[in-house]
Structure 1
Amino acid sequence: MAPHRREMSQNPRKEIISLHKKGEDYKKTGKGLHISQNTVAKVIQKFKKDGSATILQRRPGRPRMLTSRQECLLMRRVEENHHGSSLQLAKAVESQTGVTVSCDTIQRTLQRNGMAHAEKDEVYRDYILWSDETKITVFGTNGFKTVWRRKGEDFKEKCMVPTVKHGGGSPYVGKHWICFYFHCG
């Protein structure tokens, strides 16, 4: 299999054709544009054959798993529920469209459409007063809860994880509280 080469853009192609029309030979054209003589010859050959040097053929490579319509469907699902995991979203897409996609495909699609996990940079963590206490959760999990959102959607109600004060009527376990601050810099 031939090695993959970078495709020439439209501007050098147009320059090659204009120089060819002025009567410039392949060697001078190639040296002037820093392109090989063979490349110049192939561009001119295509121009003579088709009357144009534009690229019309479809590019090689694997087509995307989701069509633009299916991507819109996925984005609507995320807008309805920002807390869904990529596995849940993949199952929802499969049930609605019949297309089986991986979690990685879902994550790439969301990122391509401007979504990202709500994350803070490391400098932000340098200036936090950390505290902890035991708690009882009525719903959700004690672990991390990921939220898919666009930039600027930090405080939208759909993107927030609800909490219940004092455990929402669950049995009282007792409270142990600790607080610490660390800044290196």
Structure 2
Amino acid sequence: MAPHGKELSEDLEKRIVALHKYGIGYKIAKTLKLSCSMMAKTIQQFNRTGSTQNRPHHGRPKKLSAHAQLHIQRLSLGNRHMSAASIVAEVEGVGGSACKCSDHTPHTASNWSVCLF
């Protein structure tokens, strides 16, 4: 479960689960000065997974470094008529590799869009 706001400490999450197992209901929230929804989500996560720790995120790994992404944003805002091939040349000059294809074939301007993002 991905956190949407402030994350609770592990100690506090363990206390919530322990009090819940002991049989204390929604008074846990009042005792620990938490919102009822935060306490309920912690208990639901524990009941579903058996743990209160966040699971690793799924999804595609990032291809560009944070520095290279920021550089691309600045380039595109500074010159809106810049082509994808010239942006790639600039990003590779900064030190980030824009294309991490496994086949290592040279790219033409027509197929850069496939590898950029």
Report the structure, 1 or 2, having the larger helix content: 2
TM-score of the two chains, using structure 1 as the length reference: 0.32
Report the structure, 1 or 2, having the larger strand content: 1
TM-score of the two chains, using structure 2 as the length reference: 0.47
